[in-house]
Amino acid sequence: MQTLILGHDPQGIAAAAELLAQGEPVAIPTETVYGLAGDARDAQAVARIYQAKGRPSFNPLIVHVPDLAAAERIAVFDDAARALAGAFWPGALTMVLPLRPGAGIASLVTAGLDTVAIRVPAHPLAQAVLRAFGGPLAAPSANPSGRISPTAAAHVADPESGLGGRIAAVLDGGACPVGVESTIIGWADGRPALLRPGGIAAQAVEAVLDRPLARPAAQAGAPTAPGQLSSHYAPRASLRLNAQAARPGEVLIGFGPVPAELSLSEAGDLTQAAARLFDLLHRADADGRPIAVAPVPEDGLGAAINDRLRRAAAPR
């Protein structure tokens, strides 16, 4: 299969919506990372997403909708969920909520769970495709399972490290402005919990909820969202964390004052570092040398950056 690169113009958006209507997965830009979208109501389209990614089928997908009204037709919202939607949607927040019976979501999307992960993306092209298509889109990150997430159309289209040749098309929206996946919030026994750190700082969510988030991953050291397998986002080369300098043969990714040939942010800006993270990992990985990364502070978006780096460095 030849992977088409569609331009970010009305024809490109229409072509993406047309392929989606035919049950073909299409990679689309969101503000976080590129997603491999498919009709969330069509089990066969969803199966093609799993197949293209080579993803274990127990790992459920996030459903993307254009607005809160569409989300409420699929999931059951309480006051806390509505408050988070009001504060952060459209944007880099995913909520795991009770699935509304009869919502028409293919059971392969939720891996048979009675909850659904749902998000309203802010990216204008994601919004345009959702509206042109006219239905909910299931979309995991558009990378082969376990590999580095894509933040540019070229990452998706690469036949070696991406999905080139395995999907019909990618809609090119340039670089993703946030650069790390959405923050996932769930409720365990009515208590809000951080299931995955991401593009919205946990502290911002806590401020809206006016209560602390449970952090089950940190407490148990175990996967919480079913997809939180420890080796994830993995480059082919080895990755060493908290490096102050490159050892012989290594490529160093710096942050702040650590001098390096590649830098997440020379100014030490975490927003800039998140936006650059996956692109630099893709570049360092293409280079083939072992990778070392300078320390990144844990506050704000640093939690999501360090989570992705720890997974990339995990034994596999």
Which residue numbers belong to the known binding site for L-threonine? 32, 64, 119, 139, 182
The size of the interface with ligand TXA (CB under 6 A), counted in residues, is 29
- Bridge partners (DSSP) of residue 251 are 291
| Residue 60, binding choice from ligand TXA, Mg ion, none, Cβ under 5 to 8 Å by partner class | ligand TXA
CB crowding 122-150: b at 16 or more within 10 Å, else e: bbebbbbbbebbebbbbbbbbbbbbbbbb
* Interaction between residue 61 and ligand TXA (CB under 6 A): yes
Q: Which member of 3, 110, 141, 161 binds Mg ion (CB under 5 A)?
A: 141
Look up tokens 């995913």; give the residue.
Answer: 94
Q: Which parts of 179-198 interact with ligand TXA (CB under 6 A)?
A: 181-182, 184, 186, 195-196
**What's the rounded Cα separation, in Å, for the pair 134 and 305?**
33
Q: Which member of 226, 286, 299, 316 binds ligand TXA (CB under 6 A)?
A: 226
- Bridge partners (DSSP) of residue 99 are 75
| Residue 263, binding choice from Mg ion, ligand TXA, none, Cβ under 5 to 8 Å by partner class | none
* Interaction between residue 30 and Mg ion (CB under 5 A): no
Helix or strand run (H / E) with residue 188:
strand 183-188
Helix, strand, coil shares, percent, the chain, to 5: 30, 20, 50
Stretch that binds ligand TXA, among 163-171, 176-184, 211-219, 240-248 (CB under 6 A): 176-184
Compare residues 12 and 150 and give the one whose CB is closer to Mg ion: 150
* Interaction between residue 35 and ligand TXA (CB under 6 A): yes
**What's the rounded Cα separation, in Å, for the pair 6 and 136?**
21
* Interaction between residue 66 and ligand TXA (CB under 6 A): no
Q: How far is CA 79 from the centre of its chain?
A: 26
Label the pairing between strands 191-196 and 262-263: unpaired
Residue 158 beta carbon to Mg ion: minimum distance, rounded to whole angstroms: 16
